[in-house]
Chain A
Amino acid sequence: MSQPVENRAPWWQVMAIGRNPRTTLVRMSITLVLVFIGFRASLQPILVQGISMQPTYQEGQRRFLNKLAYRAAPPQRGDVIGIREAGKQVLLLKRVVGLPGERLRIVQGTVLIDGQPLDEAYLLPPTNGVRNPARWNVPELQLGQDEHYVIGDNRSMRQADHYFGIVERNRIVGRLIRP
């Protein structure tokens, strides 16, 4: 009486596709679906367009937004955020400078929060001692409990050409993930 011959797969095949290829395929499919769902729920890819966030971000750069960033904590000053402009696909990229409840004004390009100048290290280095050559001015305003004030980093633009201002919390999609 002969012994049954055990038909074992070679080690490299086990490493590559497992002992049971069908089970491996099912596991891979489930993993891919879960990764896809997780990706869609937590990250949003964006393509930077325009010059309002220069020099920090350049036109044509690809980045990701963390859509879960503000589930537990509100946006912080200095965060670069994605703002819903037209539907879910067209977003604005801006930096948070004013938080809910604060008094804000801009005098000759300097942002004042509750009367104190804001140190904005992310702006272009001073040229001949001038940090904000555009010399923007915005009269004092009081932010509501659901409002943030956002501006792009490019303050060398004309104030009239730069889209900035108050955004409501429900329009903020997430925080930009730095490379």
Chain B
Amino acid sequence: MSLSPRAIRAAGGTTLLLLAGLGLWAFIPTEEQRIRKVLEQAGAAVSADGAPGGSAPAGGPGGPLATLGRVGRLTQCLTRDVEVQVDVFGGLSGNLQGVEEVRAAAAGLVQHLPGLQVRFSEVEIREVAPPEARATLVATIDTGGREGRAAQEFELRFRKWEGRWYISRVATVRALRSR
């Protein structure tokens, strides 16, 4: 049995279309992957990538310019009306409202803890319903100082705007609570 040239062309075209579709499916990131990317960027922005020390040169990795760069990269991941709620037993407690308050707090944090390293793990992205999404994660915070390492669970909310996800709310999670 021999196939006509027309049938061969049709089969070839269909295969190509299928392959193209498969390629698109494989390479276009899902909403969850996009959200994870934002988290990666935020974690990398907060974490130190250079030598610690308050006397670092202005243009050096631990200097004021680098601090500005890190804080700038962090705020690129946040909505303008971002809300941060921190309530840690025996530790920090307070709220930040808006990207400017977060920028100021982050700059202070990065300057006081130049060796700060933040790593996110156990990231669970839930309720992805654009333009909103929620996630929980564990942040392992290494201050690089005597305080050592601590782990804290956070709940995050995201908002999608012009095709990109931004963090709109960050809140610490407490395992035990009073009523």
Contact = CB atoms under 8 A, between A and B. Distances in A.
A7 interface: no
Contacts of B89: 163
Given A94-B176, A165-B177, 18 more contacts: A83-B176, A84-B175, A85-B151, A86-B151, A86-B152, A87-B138, A90-B138, A138-B178, A141-B178, A141-B179, A161-B90, A164-B176, A165-B178, A166-B176, A166-B177, A166-B178, A167-B176, A171-B175
Interface in B141-179: 151-153, 175-179
A150 interface: yes
Contacts of A166: 176-179
Interface in A108-151: 138, 141, 150
Interface of B: 89-90, 121-122, 138, 151-153, 175-179
Contacts of B153: 85-87
Contacts of B176: 83, 92, 94, 150, 163-167
Nearest to A149: B176
A89 interface: yes
Contacts of A165: 176-178
A83 B177 CA distance: 13
A88 interface: yes
A138 B152 CA distance: 26
Given A163-B89, A163-B90, A87 B179 contact: no
A92 B175 contact: yes
A86 B141 CA distance: 12
Contact of A87 (B90, B121, B177, B178): B121
A104 to B, nearest CB: 10
Nearest to B179: A141
Q: Name the residue among B90, B121, B138, B176 with the largest chain A CB count within 10 angstroms.
A: B176
A62 to B, nearest CB: 20
Which of A87, A94, A163 neighbours the largest number of chain B CB atoms within 10 Å of its CB? A87
Contacts of A85: 151, 153, 175
10 contacts: A84-B175, A87-B153, A90-B151, A92-B176, A138-B178, A150-B176, A161-B90, A163-B89, A163-B176, A167-B175
A163 B88 CA distance: 11
A101 B177 CA distance: 16
A86 B90 contact: no
A171 B176 CA distance: 9
Nearest to A94: B176
Contacts of B177: 165-166
Nearest to B172: A86
B83 to A, nearest CB: 21
A1 B89 CA distance: 89
A138 B177 CA distance: 12
A48 B90 CA distance: 19
A87 B175 contact: no
A89 B151 contact: yes
